[in-house]
Amino acid sequence: MAKQPDIELVALTKRYGDAVAVDSISLRIPAGSYCCLLGPSGCGKTTTLRMIAGHEEATEGDIILGQENITILPPAARGTAMMFQSYALFPHLDCTDNVAFSLKMRGVDKDTRRSRAVDMLKRVHMDAYAGRLPSQLSGGQQQRVALARALITDPQVLLLDEPLSALDPFLRIKMREELKSLQTRLGISFIHVTHSQDEAMALADLVVVMNAGKIEQAAPPREVFNKPASAFVARFIGGHNVLPAAVARAPVVPGADGAPFVAIRADRMSVQVGTSAVAGATSLQGVARSVEYLGSTVQVGIDVIGLDTLSATLSEARFDASPVRPGEPVLLSWNPEDVHVLGR
């Protein structure tokens, strides 16, 4: 197999008039990586994907694939393929002809393109449905056909715009597993836009968290979760309490430049019911606001005067040993080593 290329974005910017959608971002995605662009609506992730695909013109900056600058190349000449959120299958063509369509546009003869299309449908376990129209397929089956159509041109990078958002939760998890398995088998880079934290954490080798057109953090998922770079990342990824450093009595960390906030994972919090316990350097008194049973864990929301609602994720056994009810006074505590100082 030929060596796959890295992809690099260099000071990439997109403006619409005075509005800046993507603000001079730089990013290197190693060859063969599964990269997820993650962030809220309007953060610039889809615009970034569309610039890589060539469906959106970059205002400034460069897109480098391997040794080639592809910034101004047309989509078909970039070595990338895009799978759209809507799947965009042709309703009047069967699965085989949908998958073969791009080869038809390139002048490949009918027998060759249909043979390659059937091979590609086998790769995504859809060859048994080769003669069906899109309307005769489920959402998950349509997704597989769209994947086969994107992959038939042998792209070096596959671009996916929220490919799982139209699926029900059970199928979403199943297709998530299949996407990761397919990417591993093919060995090419996938760049996948999502607003789902769970999706990004499950799929990605590299999670790129975006906010207001900028990259807040680009790192492996475990690093993003355990060492969020900013208060925005900690809040958006979830599972963290973000506190003013003064409230958490956080130590001064060299290089932190007096960072005003810290993060403490919700599953590292302890909850003690009652008013007798006195708050100390690593605890706060509050009132239980909500209790959510989630199966193996229980999520307890806690109101503390002057702060946003905090949360503690307790194992079912810990919760059962000392149950908490909404409205009860509680003491929320943590270990000093579980405090992560956030950058500005």
List per-block mean pLDDT (blocks of 10 residues) for the chain, which spans 344 residues.
82 96 96 96 95 96 95 92 84 93 88 92 89 90 89 92 84 87 91 94 96 97 95 94 82 55 94 73 90 94 94 94 93 91 80
CA distances, 186 to each of 33, 100, 147, 209 (Å): 11, 19, 12, 25
Question: Exposure pattern of 58-73 as b/e (b: 16+ CB <10 Å)?
Answer: beebebbbeeeebbee
Tell me which residue of 281, 296, 290 sits closest to 312, measured CA to CA.
290
Q: How far apart are CA 78 and CA 155, in angstroms?
A: 9
Per-residue pLDDT, 259: 62
Give the list of residues 6+ apart from residue 76 with CB closer than 8 angstroms, or none: none
**CB atoms inside a 10 Å sphere around CB 122:** 13
E strands along the chain, which residues? 7-16, 19-29, 34-38, 60-65, 68-69, 80-83, 157-161, 189-194, 206-211, 214-219, 240-244, 261-265, 270-273, 283-293, 297-303, 310-315, 329-333, 339-341
Say if residue 55 is exposed, middle or buried (CB neighbours under 10 Å; 0-12, 13-18, 19+): middle
Quote the pTM value.
0.88
CB 175 within 8 A of CB 5: no
Counting Cα atoms < 13 Å in the Cβ hemisphere of 23 gives 12
Residue 169: the pLDDT is 84
Going from the N-terminus, what domains does the chain have, and what CATH number goes with each? Answer: 7-226 (3.40.50.300), 239-341 (2.40.50.100)
What pLDDT score does 258 carry? 55
pLDDT of residue 255: 46
Output the CA–CA distances (angstroms, integers) from residue 75 to 81, 118, 155, 228, in the order listed.
Answer: 8, 24, 11, 35
- Tell me, what's the pLDDT at 172? 84
pLDDT for the residue numbered 254: 45
How many Cβ atoms sit within 10 Å of the Cβ of residue 106? 10
Sign, Cα dihedral of 301, 315, 264, 45: negative
The set of residues, in sequence order, having a beta carbon less than 8 Å from that of 267 and lying 6+ positions away, is: 239, 297, 312, 313
